Amino acid sequence: MIDVHCHLQDKVFDNNRDKVIERARKAGVKYIITSAINPEEVSKALEIVRKYEGYVKLTIGHDPTLVSKDVFEEQIRYVTRNLKVIVGIGEVGLDYWYVRDHDLRELQKKFFIEWIEVARTYDLPLVIHSRSAGKYAIKVLLENKFYDAVMHAYDGSVGYAMEAAKYGIKFSIPPSVTYSLQKQKLVKKLSLEDLLLETDSPVLPPVKGERNEPANIVYSAKKIAEIKNVDFEKVVEITTENALNVFKRLRK
């Protein structure tokens, strides 16, 4: 299994990151992709990637709730400076849950479109954050004809997801699928070929209120197997293949 999106540099892991990674290995996680989305996170994430070289991989993005030109430009610099290290760009996108102001949303969208162009320039996939903005984020991707993207923890309507999937846009499913009816519906309607696994650790655990970690990706795979009525091994095989197709640099 490949955890295509989590936040391993989060301080909640500072005291026990070794153990967290050990448990992930034991659970059958082949790679962990951690996502660094603000300037403070990048240097810490780079250290972690160096320490667990070959196992922890990195995407650099821009937290959409930080609607700031300075942060945006700094994150772009981090991406261009670390092109040899990163396996993708993300998370980037839209957040209409925290950002309610119309002008700020417009600025978010402007940054998002610029990130799409950065991804296109360097031929890197995008990991998309779209809290309470699923259909808007998909609309931006389709309007800009960019399909090399993973909608992470998508909380929007299944109809828009199915439309996006027609273009090859993928969806990564977090362990909260164990209780989230919206995620369960998403899994039911999309095909296994559209799905990847993620944990979004330390958030979106299989049981509300707990701290999440990459080993819990097993819960995503098990629930998908149950919903699709296929073997767990088949879910692992296909979602891993899907992840390797999106994050091509993992094959090297």
Q: Which residue has the tokens 């030109």?
A: 69
Beta strands in the chain (DSSP E): 2-6, 31-36, 56-60, 88-93, 126-129, 149-152, 170-173, 195-197
Total residues binding Zn ion (CB under 5 A) = 1
Minimum distance from CB of 237 to Zn ion (Å)?
A: 25
What is d(CA 199, CA 211) in angstroms, rounded to the nearest whole number?
A: 11
Given the complex with Zn ion, which of 132 and 228 has the nearer CB atom?
Answer: 132
Per-residue contact flags (x/-) with Zn ion for residues 213 to 232, judged by CB under 5 A: --------------------
Q: Of 130 and 242, which CB lies nearer to Zn ion in the complex structure?
A: 130
Shortest Å distance, C-beta 8 to Zn ion: 11
What is the Cα–Cα distance from 57 to 4, expressed in whole angstroms? 9
Quote the least distance from Cβ 106 to Zn ion, whole Å: 23
Tell me: does residue 198 bind Zn ion (CB under 5 A): no
Identify which range of 44-52, 103-111, 139-147, 197-205 contacts Zn ion by CB under 5 A.
197-205
**Which one of the spans 60-68, 178-186, 192-200, 239-247 is the region binding Zn ion (CB under 5 A)?**
192-200
- Closest to Zn ion by CB, 41 vs 200, is 200
Residue number with the smallest Cβ distance to Zn ion? 200
Candidates 61, 200, 236, 240: give the one binding Zn ion (CB under 5 A): 200
202-240 per-residue burial string, b: 16 or more CB within 10 A, e: under 16: bebbbeeeeebbbbbbbbbbbbbbebbeeeeeebbebbb
124 contacts: CB under 8 Å, gap ≥ 6: 86, 87, 88, 89, 118, 148
Residue ranges in contact with Zn ion by CB under 5 A: 200
